[in-house]
Amino acid sequence: MKRFEVILFFILMPLFVYGQERHIVVAADGTGEFTSVQEAVNSIRAYMSDTTHMFIKSGIYREKVVIPSWVTILRMKGESAATTIITWNDHARMNSMGTFRTYTIWIQGAGFIAEDITFENNAEPLGQAVAVHADGDRAVFRRCRFLGNQDTLLTANQESRQYYEDCYIEGTTDFIFGPATAWFERCHIHSKKNSYITAASTVEGHGVPLLPPSSSGARWELIFFRQGGITGIILRMKRQPGMPSRAAPVRVPVLAHA
């Protein structure tokens, strides 16, 4: 009987380990478990079935962060978007890096949630410089800031569904781009230059239907909710040459200059 209990214990133990929520504190001043976001991410077990809660205290975290595909259901929360800042400065012209490796944070894992954090690429405006490369499915951002110039936010992966709520997103050219399906609710989109705001690349058969339906059957990637708005140098959505409009300017109210 005792032997059976020991065997049963070792069989069930992984269920208890993988089935428990975990809480992590990151603090640049050393008052948490980790001083860097990437160190905290590296400590998370693969494919956890419950949420991992990562609280990031106020501070400037100068690092390049990768949330790998096996880190799933991660909720990353800062003290405030004004005081919890993750920043890096890669750009496409550095060592022939190209656009897609310039990210400050690359989110690959599914079920990622970020709240009250600033994600910044503060490279000089010399070329493409991604702040957030969102690749995983069911990514959610609430009360976050996305700061940069060209190509600030990459809504990547044609199978990815993404939700942005009460966020601030700024840039110069094509600063919201990619093939994902993304919904922006009460978001402030700020254009720093008279150039294109979006560069959607929705794959045929993906995205969401136009409302009202288009006679051509066109679909869009980017949807701006009515309570959001655009400010800055350009006060309207521009259409990419040769590309069907992927956004809905009639559903985006024009706000005054910031």
Residue positions annotated with a catalytic role? 151, 174
Residue 212 CB burial class (10 angstroms; 0-12, 13-18, ≥19) = exposed
Nearest alpha carbon to residue 73 among 51, 92, 41, 42: 51
The DSSP result for 44-103, as a single string, is: SPTT-SSPEEEEE-SEEEE--EEE-TT--SEEEEES-TTTEEEEE---TTGGG--GGG--
231 alpha carbon, distance to own chain's centre? 21
**What are residue 182's phi and psi, to 5 degrees?**
-130, 140
Q: Which residues of 146-164 are buried (b: 16+ CB within 10 A; e: fewer)?
A: bbbbbbbbbbbbbebbbbb
| 8 Å CB contact between 181 and 209 | no
Inter-residue contact 43 to 67 (CB < 8 Å) = no
Neighbours of 34 (CB within 10 A): 19
Phi-psi region of 100 (alpha: psi -120 to 50; beta: other; left: phi over 0): alpha
What are the backbone dihedrals phi and psi of residue 31, each rounded to the nearest 5 degrees, phi first? -90, 5
